[in-house]
Amino acid sequence: MIASVPPAVRSWPLWWRARPAPVKDGALAATLTALAFVPTLSAIAAQLGDLPKRPADTLALVLTVAQSAPLALRSRRPAACLAVIGVAFAVHQALSYPQTFASLGFYLALYAAGAHLARHRSAVAAAVSAGYAALALVLHQLGSPNQFADFLAFYSFLALMWMAGAGMRRWRAEEAERRRLGALAATAAERARIARELHDVVTHHVTAIVVQADAAQFLVGTEPRRAGEGLAAIGGTGRRALTELRHLLDVLEATGDAAFADRTRAFGEVADLVEQARRAGQPVELTEHGERLPRSIDAELAAYRVIQEALTNAVKHAAGRPTTVTVHHRADHIDIEVTTDGPDPGAGPAVPSGGRGLDGLRQRVQLLDGELTVAARPGGGFTVRALIPSGSTT
């Protein structure tokens, strides 16, 4: 009574999934319609009434096509597809025409309705159930030998097809939600990365400009030469800030890791950071131990940003106080320590407040499985320590 489906029909090629829905639906409808006229496949059919068969005629031909051709609309108009195929199936069974392979379209229409129907799902399911009950009653009145258990078994299979489609619908919805949440998470992570880069570039240079401008203001009347040097330093700092911002915009517009590698700051430019801090009036001493080894772009950029943020905080919170930058080049990681003497005791705490810059640094270093600590010194000032793994250079 419930037909089996041959393996050739169950196992569709992989390329089938990549085609647009209208194309796939049209191909399925055309294939099922064509196979319905293959005599050897007529034994594979959805057969319910088991009534004595009458000869096929023109109406039988129309009902055969009506049970398969509407599948071309199964994704776009699942309710209409199910209604046409369901009525054709019922009339075909009630008139006791010879069984046809096209009757499998009823199963596919039920699956499509469960998978694609968006509105009035309960009403459609109730209508199908009522129609099936009426068909079972008509077949019984026409003398069908099937018992109540037979009709119930067939109905259970129809319900299973509907639930299979509904399960596919839920899976697609959950998959779409996972993709949406994944896209939101990726967007948030990218926005946070851009915010960190902007903070590192803008805050460092603007802080240096402010300190240099304040110093030049006091030197204009007493030491014009030094004031001129300070103004020149402000111009140089502003140009470097614009250059880094252009680099960052280039990274945002480019695609691929190669573009990113070509435009990011490298650890070799740490000396420029130190020199810039010195021009801002901050006495900085840079000491490097060991030989510089090839590191990943992420590791070098993280090391650069750690020193940049530490020097920015030194200029901001302990201007004019001695600062030391110590770098140990290890085989598999970089050790960085930046120490700054604190301001006068009455000037308030010298330890940074843990704002966006330090939070961004911690996230950046943690992404590389590194460590970042910021601690107050007993006599004032603060110490920034970072351990940054080398990462892959490929």
Which single residue is written with the structure tokens 């998470």? 185
What are the pLDDT digits (tens) for 312-322?
888 777 778 88
Cβ(88)–Cβ(143) below 8 Å: no
Q: How many angstroms separate the Cα of 128 from the Cα of each of 134, 253, 303?
A: 10, 55, 68
pLDDT beyond 50 at 377 = yes
pLDDT beyond 50 at 239 = yes
The pLDDT value given to residue 165:
93
The pLDDT value given to residue 258:
43
Q: Give the mean pLDDT of the chain.
A: 80
The pLDDT value given to residue 67:
94
Q: Of all residues in the chain, what percent carry a pLDDT higher than 70?
A: 79
Name the residue with higher pLDDT: 296 or 11. 296
Lowest mean pLDDT among 213-227, 244-258, 316-330, 374-388: 244-258
Q: What is the mean pLDDT of residues 213-240?
A: 70
Q: What is the mean pLDDT of residues 203-231?
A: 69
C-alpha–C-alpha distance, residues 233 and 214, integer Å? 12
pLDDT beyond 60 at 56 = yes
The pLDDT value given to residue 149:
92
Q: What is the mean pLDDT of residues 102-123?
A: 93
pLDDT-derived band at 112 (thresholds 50, 70, 90) equals very high
Name the residue with higher pLDDT: 113 or 201. 113
C-alpha–C-alpha distance, residues 141 and 234, integer Å? 99
Q: ∠ CA(165), CA(148), CA(3), 5° rounding?
A: 45
Lowest mean pLDDT among 23-32, 47-56, 234-243, 314-323: 234-243
What are the pLDDT digits (tens) for 161-186?
999 999 999 999 999 999 999 988 88
The pLDDT value given to residue 4:
43
Q: Token digits for 133? A: 């009950």
Q: What is the mean pLDDT of residues 286-308?
A: 86
pLDDT beyond 60 at 291 = yes
Cβ(241)–Cβ(201) below 8 Å: yes
Lowest mean pLDDT among 66-80, 110-124, 329-343: 329-343
Read off the amino acid at residue 81: C
Name the residue with higher pLDDT: 394 or 334. 334
The pLDDT value given to residue 132:
93
Cβ(320)–Cβ(288) below 8 Å: no
Cβ(46)–Cβ(7) below 8 Å: no
Q: Token digits for 150? A: 């037979």
C-alpha–C-alpha distance, residues 3 and 44, integer Å? 6
Name the residue with higher pLDDT: 241 or 261. 241
Of the ranges 19-28, 140-149, 214-223, 354-363, which is most confident?
140-149
Sheet holding 371-376, edge to edge: 284-289, 323-329, 333-341, 381-389, 371-376
* Axis-axis angle for helices 78-94, 104-116 (nearest 10): 150
The pLDDT value given to residue 295:
83
Cβ(292)–Cβ(329) below 8 Å: yes
Q: Token digits for 30? A: 């055309």
Lowest mean pLDDT among 2-6, 39-43, 76-80, 232-236: 2-6
